[in-house]
Amino acid sequence: MVSLRDLTPLQHVTLRFVVVALLFYGLATLEGMMMRAALANIPLLAPDHFYAVLNAHPIVGIFGYSFMLVMGAFSFLVPTLLKKDLYSVRAAEWTWRLMAAGVLTVWLSSLLFSHSALYTNYWPLPVTASRPVSLLVYAVGMITIMAAILIFCFNLFATVFHGRPEDKPVSALLVSSLGLDGVVNLYRTARGRKAIEHPDVPLPIVAIFRGTIDTVLDAVVLGGISLIFVVYAVYGLNGIALPTTWFDALLYKNIYWWGLDLIADGLVLIYVAGSWYLLAMLITGRPLYMQHVARAALFVELVVSWFVWSHHLLSDQTQPGWMKVLSGELITAFELVTSGIAVFCTLATLWQARPLTMTMPLKFLLGGIVGFGLGVPAGILQADLGMNRVLHNTQWVIGAHAHMQILVGLSCTLFAALYAIFPLVTKREIKSLFLSNVHFWCQMIGGIGMSVAMGFAGLDGMLRRTLYLGDASYLGEMYLAAFFGTVLIVGYLALMVNLIRSIGVRSLVSLFVTLPEKRGWPREAVVRS
Own/partner pairs, 452-456, CB within 8 angstroms, 24+ separation: 452/399, 452/400, 452/404, 453/399, 453/477, 453/478, 453/480, 453/481, 453/484, 454/395, 454/396, 454/398, 454/399, 454/400, 454/403, 454/481, 455/378, 455/395, 455/396, 455/399, 455/400, 455/401, 455/404, 456/399
CA dihedral for 368, 64, 236, 220, sign (positive or negative): negative
Hey, what CATH class is 4-512 in?
Answer: mainly alpha
CA dihedral for 429, 430, 433, 434, sign (positive or negative): positive
pLDDT value of residue 42: 83
The pLDDT tens digits for 252-299 are 889 989 988 888 777 777 888 888 999 999 999 898 998 888 888 888
Amino acid at 76: F
CB neighbours of residue 514 within 10 Å? 6
Q: Answer with the residue of higher pLDDT: 29 or 469.
A: 29
Contact 355, 426 (CB under 8 A): no
Dist CA 79 CA 159 (whole Å): 7
Mean model confidence pLDDT for the chain = 86
Q: Average pLDDT of 170-195?
A: 78
pLDDT value of residue 4: 63
Q: Closest Cα partner for 124 from 260, 263, 241?
A: 241
Percent of the chain with pLDDT over 70: 92
Dist CA 490 CA 383 (whole Å): 34
Structural domain spans, the chain: 4-512
Contact 210, 178 (CB under 8 A): yes
Radius of gyration, CA atoms only, the chain: 23
Dist CA 289 CA 343 (whole Å): 11
Mean pLDDT check: name the lowest of 25-34, 157-166, 295-304: 157-166
pLDDT at residue 346 greater than cutoff 60: yes
Contact 497, 480 (CB under 8 A): no
pLDDT at residue 5 greater than cutoff 80: no
The pLDDT tens digits for 457-506 are 999 999 988 888 877 888 999 999 999 999 999 999 999 999 999 988 88
Q: What is the DSSP string of 6-22?
A: GS-HHHHHHHHHHHHHH
pLDDT at residue 126 greater than cutoff 60: no
pLDDT at residue 321 greater than cutoff 50: yes
Query: Cis peptide before 204, with omega less than 30 degrees from 0?
Result: no
> 289's torsion region: left (phi>0), alpha (psi -120 to 50) or beta?
beta
Q: Answer with the residue of higher pLDDT: 412 or 252.
A: 412
**Phi then psi dihedrals of residue 250, to 5 deg:** -70, -45
Contact 401, 379 (CB under 8 A): yes
pLDDT band at 334 (very low <50, low <70, confident <90, very high): confident
pLDDT band at 523 (very low <50, low <70, confident <90, very high): very low
Q: Closest Cα partner for 338 from 299, 287, 370?
A: 299
